[in-house]
Amino acid sequence: MSSANRRNAAIKAAQSGQMSHREILLVLAGLMSGMFLAALDQSIVGSAMRTIADDLDGLALQAWATTAYLITSTISTPIYGKLGDLFGRRPLFIAAIVIFVLGSATAGLATSMYELAGFRALQGLGAGGLFSLALTIVADIVPPRERARYQGLFLAVFGTSSVIGPVVGGLFAGIEQILWIDGWRWVFLINLPIGVLSMFMVLTFLHVPHTPKKQKIDWWGAVTIVLGVVPILLVAEQGREWGWGSSLSIAMYVTGVVGIISFILIEKKMGESALIPLHLFKNATFARTQILGVIIGVGMFGGMIVLPLVLQVAYGANPTEAGFLMLPMVAGMMTASILSGRSVSKRGKYVVFMKTGTATLLAGYLYMFLVLDAAQPIWIMSIGMVVIGLGLGQLMQTMMIASQSAVQAKDIGVATSSATFFRQMGGTLGVAVFMSILFGQVSDKIATAFQRSDVQDGLKSAFADSNVTTNPANGQILELLSGAPGSAAEGITSDSSFLIGVDDRLSLPFRIGFVDSGTTVFMWAAVIVLLGFAITFFIKEVPLRDKSASQEAAEDAAAGH
């Protein structure tokens, strides 16, 4: 069948409220291509970030690049959801791809961490639409009880991107130049050909039902949500440097509170036209699920962001090796997602996986906190990653299904974007706060490690070994160690490349300090997830519907509602 015929068939199928299995697969083909674009970016950057930060002289500033992406993807999510209701999800999805690819191209040209953060923010504006609109379109065309039938396809997208992303990111970061361009820049530039392919798939196959709604655009809601969210996230990221009680931090607190209050008042006035209609929160199941989403977002993203850093800084893995070493978590996540998805499809019960998912995630973080040590072999850490993956896999789809099932079909779009917004809000806070915790104490932890007798004995033997002192690979760390321990400890926050290939006795205090800081992050992540586990006992199970949102909308229209 020609491209034009496939497009015409897809359009014809989208005009009815019901879609066959084959027609749904055609839509999902376009949908998954866009999701793969954003999912790959999430995983490919992490394993290369250390190399990127070292090259741009800003390891401690790397949180800016991560946080900027998360901030813009977070605040744009509810905006995409509402605009999708008004103008249709397809044109918004296409616009999201264009913005994301443009952000990728500029990020690949960055010359500083601050520039990279700005271009990553542009990427985030596109990513916010790719994720939220994709999940909404799935709810439009697939009934909740049948969603697990297609879940394997989406798992293939996330699983494939999770597996190849860290490996490809590490591979690019480990190559000095590709076609006369720094290897790490291809982490972003690879999105250009993928984006072109994704655009072709979307234009050909992604035709979905749309019933226009005559509503006002909530411009003031969009302004005030930015005013409320961005200052809070900025102070979470920079509070350590600014001072939590500094005038600048206080100004951010005040601005954020004013923005949040203004947003609530505006949303109340806008009613059904609001970006996030407040009437949704009268539903206890929906409201509690959003609270859980924020908490799990904090614990999930906050804890996970530390893993690749520990693998590279503390265990000496290069970026490519770190990508492969993250595979146990991916395997656990995919296994749990497939098994829980099949169970939900068969039994229609999903709250149980909120309980077991948070409990398993809690166990994974507690394991990391109690067991992880710089002297432990890497397989010890791999066990913890498998457990963390098993917990995340049970939570990936469950919370979204709960949010969508708790509302009427007409509210699927805003419910999906709201659920995505709150989870990403938690994730952004988690990354900012936990990275501040990590780098806020790593210098002190390293300085303390210098006081340990085994570290001092190791350093003495290393300095007495001529093979160590004459090895060029040890030159930079020997220069750092010749100064005060405090100044040596500070060096790791801006550039950790001096640890690559050095003698283990010289790197031991740095590895100990970094792992000790990482375990503190895991401890606080466990505390957050424990709170989420408690909340799951207050979430009521809502029966899953047997019809898709578009089917229900078509029936309502036929009935004259």
pLDDT in tens, 17-76: 556 667 777 777 777 777 777 777 766 776 677 777 777 766 666 767 777 887 888 788
Task: Looking at the structure, tell me whether residues 247 and 195 fall in a common domain.
Answer: no
More confident residue, 553 or 344: 344
pLDDT digits (tens, 9 = 90+) for 527-548: 999 999 999 999 888 877 666 6
- Please indicate, yes or no, whether residues 138 and 260 belong to a single structural domain of this protein: no
181, HSE (Cβ side, Cα atoms, 13 Å): 14
Question: What average pLDDT does range 320-346 have in this prediction?
Answer: 79
Instruction: Please compute the mean of the pLDDT values over residues 304-333 and round it to a whole number.
Output: 77
**Average pLDDT estimate for 366-393:** 88
The reply to whether 555 falls in a domain is: no
CA distance 235 to 257: 13
Cα 477–60–476 angle (5° rounding)? 10
Report the run of H or E that residue 178 belongs to, with start and end: strand 177-178
State whether 223 and 203 are in the same domain: no
Based on the domain organization, do 203 and 242 belong to the same domain? Answer: no
Q: Is residue 494 domain-shared with residue 380, that is, in the same domain?
A: no
Three-class secondary structure assignment of 23-62:
HHHHHHHHHHHHHHHHHHHHHHHHCCHHHHHHHCCCCCCH
Q: Which residues pair with 308 in a beta bridge?
A: none
Distance CA 321, CA 311 (A): 9
Residue numbers of the domain that contains 133:
1-209
Are 519 and 506 members of one domain? no
* pLDDT for the residue numbered 460: 84
Q: Percentage of the chain with pLDDT > 90? A: 13
pLDDT category, 234, cuts 50, 70, 90? confident
End-to-end Cα distance, the chain: 39
Residue 364 — pLDDT band, cuts 50, 70, 90? very high
What secondary structure, in 3-state letters, does 120-175 show? HHHHHHHHHHHHHHHHHHHHHHCCHHHHHHHHHHHHHHHHHHHHHHHHHHHHHHHC
Closest CA to 16 of 4, 25, 24: 24
Q: Is the pLDDT of residue 285 over 90?
A: no
Question: What whole-number percentage of the chain has pLDDT above 70?
Answer: 81
Q: Is the pLDDT of residue 6 over 90?
A: no
Whichever domain contains 334, its CATH number is 1.20.1250.20
User: Residue 472 to residues 55, 459, 467, 476, 507: CA-CA distances in angstroms?
Assistant: 20, 17, 10, 8, 15
Number of residues in the chain? 561
What is the per-residue pLDDT for 27?
75
DSSP, collapsed to helix, strand or coil, labels residue 281 as: helix
Is residue 218 over pLDDT 60?
yes
Under DSSP, the state recorded for 547 is S
- φ, ψ (nearest 5 deg) of residue 500: -70, 120
Q: Judge whether 491 lies within some domain.
A: yes
Is the residue at 559 inside a domain? Answer: no
Query: In this structure, is residue 561 part of a structural domain?
Result: no
Q: What is the mean pLDDT of residues 102-119?
A: 88
In this structure, the answer to whether residues 62 and 165 fall within a common structural domain is yes
In degrees, rounded to 5, the angle at the alpha carbon of residue 74 between the alpha carbons of residues 27 and 520 is: 120
Residue 213 is predicted with a pLDDT of 65
- Say what the pLDDT of residue 98 is: 93
- Residue 226 is predicted with a pLDDT of 87
Q: Do 66 and 189 belong to one domain?
A: yes
Report which listed range, 34-43, 116-125, 134-143, is most confident.
116-125
How sure is the predictor about 261, in pLDDT bands with cuts at 50, 70 and 90? Answer: very high
**pLDDT value for 527:** 92
Closest CA to 83 of 129, 21, 143, 50: 129
> Are residue 464 and residue 525 in the same domain, yes or no?
no
Report H helices in 464-503.
466-469, 475-481, 485-490
Q: Is residue 65 part of a domain?
A: yes
pLDDT at 47 (0 to 100): 65
Based on the domain organization, do 477 and 444 belong to the same domain?
no
Q: What is the pLDDT of residue 430?
A: 81
- Whether 12 and 68 map to the same domain: the answer is yes
Q: CA–CA distance from 280 to each of 6, 364, 402, 461 (Å)?
A: 38, 33, 13, 66
Q: What is the number of domains present in the chain?
A: 4
Confidence of residue 363 (pLDDT cuts 50, 70, 90): very high
Burial string for 540-551 (b: 16+ CB within 10 Å, else e) reads eebebbebbbbb
Residues 123 and 266 reside in one and the same domain: no
- 206: which 2 tokens? 């992604």
Mean pLDDT, range 120-131, rounded to an integer: 88
pLDDT at 305 > cutoff 80: no
Q: Look at residues 432, 411, 409, 442 and name the one whose alpha carbon lies nearest to residue 271.
A: 411
Is 182 strand, coil or helix? strand
Q: Tell me whether residue 554 is in a domain.
A: no
Find which of 100-109, 152-161, 439-448 is predicted with most confidence, using mean pLDDT. 100-109
Q: Would you say residue 312 lies in a domain?
A: yes
Is residue 377 scored above 80 in pLDDT?
yes
Give pLDDT, residue 493: 58
